[in-house]
Amino acid sequence: MASPLRVLVTGAAGQIGYSLVLQIAKGDVFGKETPIVLVLLDIPPMAAVLEGVQFELTDCALANLTGVEAVTNEKDAFTNIDYAFLVGAMPRKEGMERKDLLAANVRIFKSQGAALAEFAKPTTKVIVVGNPANTNAFICAKYAAGKIPARNFSAMTRLDHNRASAQVAIKSGVTVGNVKNVIIWGNHSSTQFPDVSHAKVNKNGSEVDAVSAVGDSAWLQSGFISVRGVTVQKRGAVIIERRKLSSAMSAAKAACDHIHDWYKGTPAGSFVSMAVPSDGSYGIPEGLIFSFPVTISNGEWKIVQGLELNDFAKEKIAVTTKELLEERDEALAACGESKQ
């Protein structure tokens, strides 16, 4: 048997954690044949809850789950891990602006970045789910620099990507497996730009562009992006309003999709949305953790190049870039660093 992958989930006593750990443990991410040790981190007051989750995972009797460790300190959490799902954060509550979250969360991700540098493998790959996800990932990468390359850090926009794909599928009268190459540009926030202008729909066996499959350009430029939060940009706020809790099951599934594709690769001709450090593509300032279309092979992502952007798209991308630059500067200030 190959030596098991050590997979860390932070915030594992929380609601996303509860869905996520089972999906990882039963092979949805790394495959059913890959042995896994799950490391569950939460804060000390949640130790008993964490232990309950650990017991339940044991009771799931999963063949390839070779260990479950429940821990409440960063050293035990980050030592020798291969993958980190950084979910633990202060979640957004109804009516709370994401900017209020930033200051509270930056401290957590600075500390975890330093812990990654000190204890994790230099090859560790990281997905940040905890909000504000892009900026938390930026801070985490900054404090892990020197040990772990920035390109091993990412933030999750896959939930937005999945939401957008599902809406296109419904409008086109197909199942979601027949939709590909939707793009989420920018920040995981209400400024994100869900873009279907390069997406494809397989309708009755032939591939057509999503705009003609949907057959409603006005909806694509307004309702699809955000009408009272029914569709993509503000869907998270609507879920909070209805459930009184933020998206958990769908967020966990999206985190699994993100790492699954990073681990296994994307199929030929398909791309997915992933927030990764910009290399300057599409004029996005270098280093900003920005959601781009990416293809993945051999565990390495590549930003899809050469997609044409019309004026509408350029305008939307400029708005989300501006927000990310502001968040970055606020986060750096909260860490006592000067602006970039």
Q: Does 46 bind ligand NAD (CB under 6 A)?
A: yes
Dihedrals φ, ψ of 90, to 5°?
-85, 120
Q: Does 277 bind ligand NAD (CB under 6 A)?
A: no
Least spacing, CB of residue 203 vs ligand NAD, in Å: 29
Q: Does 13 bind ligand NAD (CB under 6 A)?
A: yes
Rg (CA), the chain: 19
Among 129, 141, 168, 296, binds ligand NAD (CB under 6 A): 129
Q: Which two tokens stand for residue 168?
A: 């296109």
Peptide bond between residue 132 and the one before it cis (omega within 30 degrees of 0): yes
Q: Does 127 bind ligand NAD (CB under 6 A)?
A: no
Q: Does 159 bind ligand NAD (CB under 6 A)?
A: yes
Least spacing, CB of residue 244 vs ligand NAD, in Å: 11
Q: Which two tokens stand for residue 179?
A: 């939709």
Q: Which two tokens stand for residue 132?
A: 């504000």
Q: Does 89 bind ligand NAD (CB under 6 A)?
A: yes
Least spacing, CB of residue 87 vs ligand NAD, in Å: 5
244-250: long-range contacts (C-beta < 8 A, 24 or more apart)?
A: 244/94, 245/15, 246/15, 246/91, 246/92, 247/159, 248/15, 248/16, 248/18, 248/19, 249/19, 250/159, 250/162, 250/163
Q: Does 162 bind ligand NAD (CB under 6 A)?
A: no
Least spacing, CB of residue 10 vs ligand NAD, in Å: 4
Q: Is-catalytic flag, 188?
A: yes
Among 11, 186, 277, 293, binds ligand NAD (CB under 6 A): 11
Residue 137 DSSP label:
H
Q: Does 233 bind ligand NAD (CB under 6 A)?
A: no
Among 133, 210, 237, 303, binds ligand NAD (CB under 6 A): 133
The packing angle between helices 133-144 and 311-334, to 10°, is: 50
Displacement of CA 195 from its chain's centroid (Å): 17
Look at the chain and count its residues.
340
Size of the site for ligand NAD (CB under 6 A): 28
Written as one letter, the residue type at 126 is V
Q: Which residues are catalytic?
A: 188
Positions in the binding site for ligand NAD (CB under 6 A): 10-11, 13-17, 41-43, 46, 87-89, 91-92, 108, 129-131, 133, 156, 159, 188, 246-248, 251
